[in-house]
């Protein structure tokens, strides 16, 4: 793996922290303050979907071979979740450029889409890492999760007085993945046919 590729992957993870976590938290709190139901609903759905991204980080910590596949699925689902809802899209279109909350939300949606596609492109350039993350050439993909592992390990030891190991991370990741998959299947079979692309956020006017 050349230096440019390593730098690109490192940058992708750094941008992910900002656009997948930092900005959504800010927008969510902002929407609560402004009492904007459309943006608040959009971010509420986003956080539910983004749980898979955090599950994938656990799997990366546990050196699960298919962890990178889960990571890419999570970013793609997160991107779909912010564009999928017709009622939210229609609501956001009604605001002009001067309304900073919705304008920032729109910019964030396009930025997240670009980052998600870039992340997928970087992964495809290292296709072998989809099925064998523990190989030497895939080490760069594990470095961000290694830093997270150290943080979680210290917190786990501080609060519970026990060691947080990679096998534990793998088990928790796989168990959480099973629960997540069951919840997603339930939504696809029950709520999607019923509501379609309607997010069902309250229609009591703009705020």
Q: Which residue has the higher pLDDT, 189 or 11?
A: 189
Domain boundaries, the chain: 3-195
Name the pLDDT band for 158 (thresholds 50, 70, 90): low
Residue 26 confidence (pLDDT) = 95
Average pLDDT over residues 80-102: 93
Q: Convert the pLDDT of each residue in 32-77 to its tens digit.
A: 999 999 999 999 999 999 999 999 988 988 889 999 999 999 999 9
Q: What is the largest CA-CA distance in the chain?
A: 56
CA 162, CA 70: separation in Å to the nearest integer?
A: 28
Is 166's pLDDT higher than 90? no
Is 19's pLDDT higher than 60? yes
Q: Is 54 exposed, middle or buried, given 0-12, 13-18 or 19+ CB atoms closer than 10 A?
A: middle
Q: Which of 63, 69, 64, 82 is nearest to 20 (CA)?
A: 82
Residue 139 confidence (pLDDT) = 81
pTM (global) more than 0.85: yes
Is 152's pLDDT higher than 90? no
3-state helix, strand, coil in the chain (%, to 5): 80, 0, 20
CA 145, CA 128: separation in Å to the nearest integer?
A: 19
Instruction: Give every CB contact of residue 91 below 8 A, 6+ residues apart in sequence.
Output: 38, 201, 206
- DSSP 8-state assignment for residue 204: S
Q: Which of 64, 63, 21, 65 is nearest to 46 (CA)?
A: 21
């Amino acid at each position: 793996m050349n230096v440019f590729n390593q730098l690109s992957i490192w940058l992708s993870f750094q941008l992910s922290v900002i656009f997948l976590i930092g900005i959504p938290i800010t927008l969510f709190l902002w929407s609560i303050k402004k009492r904007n139901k459309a943006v608040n609903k959009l971010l509420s759905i986003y956080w539910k979907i983004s749980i898979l991204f955090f599950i994938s980080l656990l799997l990366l910590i546990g050196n699960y071979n298919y962890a990178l596949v889960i990571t890419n699925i999570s970013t793609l689902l997160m991107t779909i979740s912010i564009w999928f809802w017709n009622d939210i899209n229609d609501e956001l279109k009604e605001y002009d450029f001067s309304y900073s909350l919705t304008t920032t939300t729109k910019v964030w949606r396009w930025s997240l889409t670009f980052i998600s596609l870039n992340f997928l492109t970087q992964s495809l350039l290292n296709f072998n890492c989809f099925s064998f993350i523990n190989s030497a050439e895939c080490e760069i993909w594990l470095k961000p999760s290694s830093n997270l592992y150290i943080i979680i390990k210290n917190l786990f030891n501080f609060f519970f007085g026990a060691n947080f190991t990679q096998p534990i991370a793998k088990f928790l990741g796989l168990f959480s993945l099973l629960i997540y998959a069951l919840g997603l299947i339930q939504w696809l079979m029950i709520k999607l046919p019923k509501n379609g692309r309607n997010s069902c956020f309250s229609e009591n006017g703009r705020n």
